[in-house]
Structure 1
Amino acid sequence: MKFKPRPEQKKILNYSGGMLAIPAVPGAGKTTVLAYLAAKLIDEKINGNQKVLIVTYMNSAAANFRKKIGDFLADRGRPRSRGYTVKTLHSLALGIIKEKPEARLINKEFELVDGGQRYSLIRRISGIWAGKNRDRLMDFFDLDQNYYRFNEYADKWRQNDFPDFVSTMISYFKLNLISSRKLKQITDQIDNKKFKLLSWLAEIYEEYSDRLAADGLLDFDDLVQHSLKLLKEDSDFCQRMAEDYKYIFEDEAQDSNRAQEEMLYLLAGSEKNFVRVGDSNQAITGTFTMSDPEIFRSFCSKDDVSVQKLTMSGRSSRDIIDLANYLVRWSTEEFSDKGFSPLEERYIRPVPEDDPMPNPVPDSYKIGSRLFKTWEMEAKFLARNSVRMAEKNDGKTVAVLMPAGYQLEKIGAEINSMGFEYQITGSSSGDNYFNEIEVILNFLTYPHQKDKLKMLFREIFYKEEEEKYLFSKNIIDSNDVRSLIYPDAGLSCNNFSGEIRRNKFFNEFYKNLNRIQGWLEAASEIPPDELLLFIAERIKLEGKKLAVVQNLALQFSRLLNQHPAWRLDQLLGEMPSLKDRLKHFIVTLNDLDGFEPAADKVTLSTIHKAKGMEWDTVFLGALTSDQFQHTEEDYFRSEKFYLSEEIKNPEAAAKAQLEEILKDKFAKNPEVKARQEIIAERIRLIYVGISRAKENLYLSAHQKQGKKWEKEAAAAFNILDQFIDNAEKNWRNKNV
């Protein structure tokens, strides 16, 4: 794998030990640099069984790291998979717990619940609590009972927003190592009238923890909480774990949280060979996760940390780089007297013209912007023009990036109406992984039903072979299913008329009947979990589909242990919930493959999910004031207007209450800080969107949606629109 490092990259590759921070601009090649450095250290510095540990945010990034490190090691004549391990935070934490589960009083057979299962459980528990404590829950409800939408918002609070709040806070408690027992002890000693929110949370958190423990379950936050406590409470165990790793690398350090940072410090041991790379200007998850960009900023400012910046990027054209840098400059000046800083004053530099991966050089100024009167007009424009770019068939990629998922649905519908295809980043419908196995299980459960047998032939044997399917369908329609598969005289070609036997499709049809007979016999002789694996082998499932069926077999086995008398029909009745349980597993499988934009389709993505990706052309839409706030007086979607002033942002209020109790630090207006964090993160979101574009970029906004809802373009859109207008005029004047 050829890699010619730039001068600033060479400085990083001279690293041999100690703590190193690498602030990197978008498109600076940080993954390649870290992978090359890992291979170099493995080749030159590591002896014995020690490894380089790379911790990254996404499974797809982990797969990318493994490939690149393997390629660089192969170039050095080293084995591709030796000397390093790449993990996400949760897989690292799981490995630590499995080393010593008894120390945390965890059953060795514990099972992980994914995000969907976790939220469903929290929602059920919160609903039961709300039903028993309706008056308490409505204490903060601030709408007049005569208001015509009172019941609508009361239900929204009880059924949706309150469970969301509880879910967020339980994560917050766990990642700050506050167990349900500890929170209960805290609230038992305080004035519950003053700290109502914490008292409610303590009761629900306790019930949630008890439910998990009773069923032998852990959620992903438990992994981090228990593994960190294990490292902190057992110094000998911590030292043994740290001895496994000579170097610790953390990717996407701007998305780190306090628990992750503390865990990696502990694993770095006494040598503290700790390398962290990130870009606080791309920190866009803090308002809905526990990540905090201040963690990486603080690390960069430590006296014992060396800092090597990656400021050169070959991803985007110089014009797009200028626009991104202008946003940084404007943000720095605009918020300098407001007590917070959305973007650090770090500017992207283009690479030298002789660089092996130079910046794109468009033949004209390829940045545009437009303000539309309505959302409908903007959506049609984005759909029409993204399709126009994709239809050029020039091998270039096109994406439409939006702040919210529901906006993509509208644009997708517009693209479909034009007869064109689109793809969505991060989409992972699990149904296609279950199609074959569900069709077969349905037939084996109800083998006497003709429609189940016909579906078997259509989906398993003759998919996209219409003539063969119609031949089999006619035979099935003309016969009793039992006599067709299990005739009294036994299955034989002679059971069919001469006309049918002479048909060119008969031999294959007859062979499939024999296969079905074998499946039915297996279903009567072996347990359902083994039957799944038997069928997967017979229909030659492989890759991700086989992995999903193997996982499904484990779920069947679990249910059969709980309900030994269950038959196949009862297990099949559980398929909707089992598929829900496997969602996270399927998402992980898809993440491992990563996402590759197709040049013949329009990619639709939220800006959040576009992070780490790039396209030749990017349309960045809906840059409106309700999505990208500018002042603390703006409308904030995350706030609950129907609640009283002190808890319009319940998460901010609860965190402030906890801080007041634990640190004796009273926060006068916690919602103000929360609003500032949102403003900062939304500006960073625009920065991320801009820096996804390589050659062409179009920004858009709209003024209103519907007849009653009034909105305007975001302040950031207005200043970028003006910059684009001036830059385009300057380009034209230079090229007249």
Structure 2
Amino acid sequence: RSGIINGLTDRWISSNRDRWQPYLKLSSDDRWYQRGVNSWIYGIKDMVNATITRIKLQGYSLQEQERIQQRVVSGDDSFIKWTFEIMTEYDRYIRNMGRVDFDDLIVFAYRLLLDDMELRQRMQDRWAYVFEDEAQDSTPLQEKLVRILSEKSGNLLRVGDINQGIMGFTGTDPSLFSRFCSEATNQPISIASRSTQDIMDLANHFVGWVRESFPLEACRNALANQQIRGTYDDDPSPNPVVDDFALTVHEYDSGEEELNTVAHKASVAAKMFPHKTIAILTRDNWSLNGLANCLTERKVPWEDASRGTTTDQQSLEDVQAIVSFLAESDNGIRFRQLVERLMTDLDPDELELLDNYLKNLNPEDLLYPIGGVEIGSIPEELWASGSWKRVEELLADLRRWLEYSHLPADELILQLAGEMALDKEQRELVNSYAGQIFRLLRDGAHHDLSSVIQAQELDRNMKLVIRNLRDRKGYSPQPGTVSLSTMHRSKGLEWDIVYLAGLAIDHFPDSLSQRFPGDIWSVKEEFRNPSALALAQLNAAKAGTGLDLGEIAAKARIQEISENLRVIYVAITRARERLIISSHKKNAYDKVLEPSSIFTEIAAYVKQNVK
């Protein structure tokens, strides 16, 4: 879906330079101009994708949406106008292909219930009770749907935690569930068996501090006034207990030092406590990539908690590594990376010997040696252990795979998958990978396999596929392996030991005047959050009212800070036995940051309560 929308957006951008370029704050002779243009183009694409989803999930009737769209299209130029223009092309495109957008499935279901009274009555008679879990993550459309289904019986049970409403970027709105709770009979559920008392006390203190003392008063309602408590003494699933204080805080000089030290500490913990589950949680994927590199260098097993099971992930990455090599078979670095990846069960010392040996050779020297490989050049240890025979078997595989290079890209990948021992889920991932590559090549955005496998769109789409597979299978952290996850994606998961990194002002701003991580730096101040502006323009078009750009920008920042506070609450409550929280004083550009009120409060609490 995003690939189609991005392609149509690219076409729109090419044809409408006079509409989007004026928003740039840079002149064409600025040394950062092209980088700024690229940043703005990516921002437009993200805005269009997000806003199309929001339009579809508002729960408009067909007539209501047509009326809003007509009002927008006939009015002044705006981000929501851009979105409707691209959405019209997108809807036409998928309709001509005989497809249905995923979000439209629920849109069509809702409109059927609105328009077909007989169907609506039949559905209402079919279910005496309607239950909804994770209700804080409902979209306006989903809420309208469950209300219609339960309208006749009056039996609607919704379960949720307002303090875990952190999916705003998907079009959800936790205020809907909050409003429902104020209207309906409700039964609080305050008992939680996951965490030690120390961790629960911190979570409760954090809620109280936000509601009473958070510096930005407009955000003090970000968390609901609810306290969690442990189980009763006779509960069969009691809260965990540790001998000492479960909380630790650290502040580092820089973000780089923080990530390196946290990775080191997690590595030590994984070796000291091989029976414990361990996680490092950060706000963004960039930090996770740095942590992954640190853990890999230390030869510590780790897994990305958002990307499915390790075996599924490794199988796809094996195929990706093979395809990357076949796309550039004369690339010595790709050759060495592939050999090292497919020979990971070698002794580490032997693997290092093999890597050093390969550095002095071109791929063709081993794959197609004239007169054969020079025996004397092969490390003696590899001969003695019999490992060289396995290298020869791999070289034979590579020569066979190179013979498949004439095949179309998707057929090539499926041929490779057919030679690997893959289970059902692994085959599904590889088949999706082949399909994504086929579509990107067919649509003409990329002209060869080498460019398409490096496309950001391919990486983004595969992450979605892997995430969906993980959601179906469920994710269970492995003891002794360090799990890496963003705080958002950690929701619903738990670990014995959690490192919560990056609680600094550059990741979690606490005032409207600070720089926000998602801001588009290259456009004028009031337009740096185009998704929020587009949503406000949509609501104004529906109501027939005007807009105050400054007010919209401030409201968007208040909502973002509020959701960030809930994200931190969710992250705190992922820990079962121990929670280590850290921050840093300088950003990536070595600039000293303002102190974070959030980290300062948590650090003061821990210092005051340490036992």
Flag the 1:638–1:727 CA change in 2: closer, same or farther, 3 A: same
Aligned equivalents of 2:237 and 2:199: distance in 1?
Answer: 16
Q: Is the 8 A contact 2:196 2:246 kept in 1?
A: no
**Alpha-carbon offset, residue 166 of structure 1:** 1.3
Give secondary structure in 2 for the equivalent of 1:162: helix
1:156 pairs with one of 33, 39, 52: 39
Q: Deviations over 1:527-571 (max 9, x none)?
A: x99999999899875432355578799999999xx9xxxxxxx99
Question: Does the CA contact (< 8 Å) of 2:307 and 2:313 recur in 1?
Answer: no
Instruction: Check the 8 A contact 2:43/2:530 in 1, yes or no.
Output: no
5+ residue gaps, structure 2, are: 327-338, 348-365, 372-388, 404-408, 443-447
490, 498, 506: which one aligns with 1:626: 506
Measured in 1, the distance between the counterparts of 2:417 and 2:586 equals: 53
The answer to whether the Cα contact below 8 Å between 1:536 and 1:549 also exists between their aligned partners in 2 is: yes
Output the CA distance in 2 between the equivalents of 1:667 and 1:360.
52
Once residues 26 and 246 of structure 2 are traced to their aligned partners in structure 1, the CA distance between those partners, rounded to angstroms, is 50
> How many angstroms apart in 2 are the aligned matches of 1:558 and 1:146?
37
The yes-or-no answer on 1:307 pairing with 2:186 is: yes
Residues 672 and 611 from structure 1, CA distance in 2 versus in 1: closer, same or farther, beyond 3 angstroms? same
**Letter paired with 1:131:** S
Q: How many angstroms apart in 2 are the aligned matches of 1:162 and 1:677?
A: 20
Partner of 2:6: 123
Distance 1:437 1:709 in 2: 38
Q: Which amino acid aligns with 2:209?
A: W
2:146 counterpart letter in structure 1:
L
Distance 1:579 1:243, change over 3 A: farther
Distance 2:252 2:449 in 1: 53
For 1:410, the aligned partner's letter is: G
Q: 1: CA distance between counterparts of 2:513 and 2:344?
A: 58
Structure 1 regions of 5+ residues with no counterpart? 1-112, 444-457, 467-473, 480-504, 521-527, 563-569, 732-736
CA distance change for structure 1 residues 430 and 186 in 2, over 3 Å: closer, same or farther? farther
Deviations 1:381-436 (A, max 9, x none): 20111111111135111111111111112122222222222111112576725968
Give the equivalent residue in structure 2 for 1:91. none
**Cα offset, 1:587, TM superposition:** 3.6
Q: Deviations over 1:568-616 (max 9, x none)?
A: xx99999999987776554433322221112112111111111111111
Per the normalisation by structure 1, the TM-score is: 0.65
Counterparts of residues 50-65 of structure 1 (less than 5 Å): none
Q: Secondary structure of 2:512's match?
A: coil
Structure 1 residue corresponding to 2:15, chosen from 115, 119, 132:
132
> What is the aligned partner in structure 2 of residue 28 from structure 1?
none
Q: CA RMSD in A?
A: 4.7
Q: Tell me the secondary structure at the aligned position of residue 362 of structure 1.
A: coil
The alpha-carbon distance between structure 1 residues 389 and 713, as it changes in their structure 2 partners (threshold 3 A), is farther
Alignment check: 8 A CA contact 1:366 1:696 kept: yes
CA gap of 1:710–1:465, structure 2 versus 1, over 3 A, is: closer
The answer on 1:328 being equivalent to 2:207 is yes
Matched, 1:274 2:156: yes
Q: Is the 8 A contact 1:702 1:712 kept in 2?
A: no
Question: How far 1:625 moved relative to its partner?
Answer: 1.0
Taking a change above 3 Å as real, the CA distance of residues 271 and 419 of structure 1, as seen in their structure-2 partners, is: same
Q: How does 1:51-200 map onto structure 2 within 5 Å?
A: 113=1, 118=2, 120-145=3-28, 147-157=30-40, 159-177=41-59, 182-190=67-75, 192=76, 195-200=77-82
| Aligned residue number for residue 296 of structure 1 | 177
Change (3 A) 1:355 1:122: same
Q: 1:664 to 1:707 in 2, by over 3 A?
A: closer
CA contact (8 A) 2:12 2:86 kept: yes
**CA offset at residue 721 of structure 1?**
0.5
Aligned position for 2:485: 605
C-alpha contact (below 8 Å) 1:243/1:269 kept by paired residues: no
Q: Which moved more, 1:644-653 or 1:270-279?
A: 644-653
Q: Give the equivalent residue in structure 1 for 2:122.
A: 240
How far apart in 2 are the matches of 1:405 and 1:620? 14
2:541 equivalent in structure 1: 661
Deviation at 1:708, TM superposition (A): 4.7
Partner SS, residue 673 of structure 1:
helix
1:306 match: secondary structure: coil
Aligned position for 1:719: 601
Residue in 1 that maps onto 2:98: 216
Aligned 8 A contact 2:164 2:567 in 1: yes
Task: Give CA-to-partner distance per residue, 1:610-651, whole Å, 9 cap, x none.
Answer: 111111111111101122122222222233344334433222
1:341 aligns with 2:341: no
Classify 1:273/1:588 alpha carbon distance in 2 versus 1 (closer, same or farther; 3 Å).
Answer: same
Q: Aligned residue for 1:389?
A: 269
Is the alpha carbon distance of 1:572 and 1:726 closer, same or farther for their aligned partners in structure 2, counting shifts above 3 Å?
closer
Q: Secondary structure in 2 aligned to 1:609?
A: coil
How many Å apart are 1:300 and its aligned residue? Answer: 0.7
Shift in CA distance, 682/121, structure 1 to aligned 2, threshold 3 Å: same
CA shift for structure 1 position 260: 0.8
Does residue 418 (structure 1) correspond to residue 303 (structure 2)? The answer is no
Give a deviation string over 1:458-480, Cα, whole Å, max 9, x none.
99xx99899xxxxxxx999999x
Distance in 1 (alpha carbons) for counterparts of 2:452 and 2:30:
43
Return closer, same or farther for 1:208/1:535 CA change in 2, 3 Å cut-off: closer
CA distance in 2, matches of 1:576, 1:339: 41
Q: Give the 3 Å change call, closer, same or farther, for CA 573–388 of structure 1 in structure 2.
A: closer
- Go from structure 1 to structure 2 and tell me whether the alpha carbon gap of 1:714 and 1:549 turns closer, same or farther (over 3 Å shift): closer
Residue-by-residue CA offset, 1:425-459 (whole Å, 9 max, x unaligned): 1125767259689989x99xxxxxxxxxxxxxx99
Report the alpha carbon displacement of residue 687 of structure 1 after superposing the two structures with TM. Answer: 0.9
Q: Which has the larger radius of gyration?
A: 1
Q: CA, structure 1 residues 408+572, in 2 after alignment: closer, same or farther (shift >3 Å)?
A: closer
Cα deviation per residue 1:340-374 (whole Å; 9 max; x = unaligned)? 51111100111123321222221111211121111
User: Between Structure 1 and Structure 2, how many residues are aligned?
Assistant: 554
| Counterpart amino acid of residue 136 in structure 1 | R
Hey, what's the Cα distance between the residues in 1 that align with 2:569 and 2:367? 63
Residue 527 of structure 2 is matched in structure 1 by: 647
Contact 1:425–1:604 (CA<8 Å) still a contact in 2? yes
Amino acid at match of 2:200: I
CA contact (8 A) 1:529 1:557 kept: yes
Instruction: Give the distance between the partners of 1:662 and 1:278, measured in 2 at CA.
Output: 29
Alignment match, 2:235: 355
Residues 698/546 of structure 1: CA separation in 2 closer, same or farther (3 Å cut): closer
Percent identity reads 30
Offset, 1:242: 3.7
Kindly provide the CA deviation profile for residues 121-180 of structure 1, in whole angstroms up to 9, marking residues without a partner as x: 2222222222222122123223355544233212321x2111111111111111124678
Query: 2:140 & 2:229 partners in 1: Cα distance?
Result: 31
When residues 557 and 376 of structure 1 are mapped into structure 2, their CA distance, relative to the original with a 3 A threshold, is closer
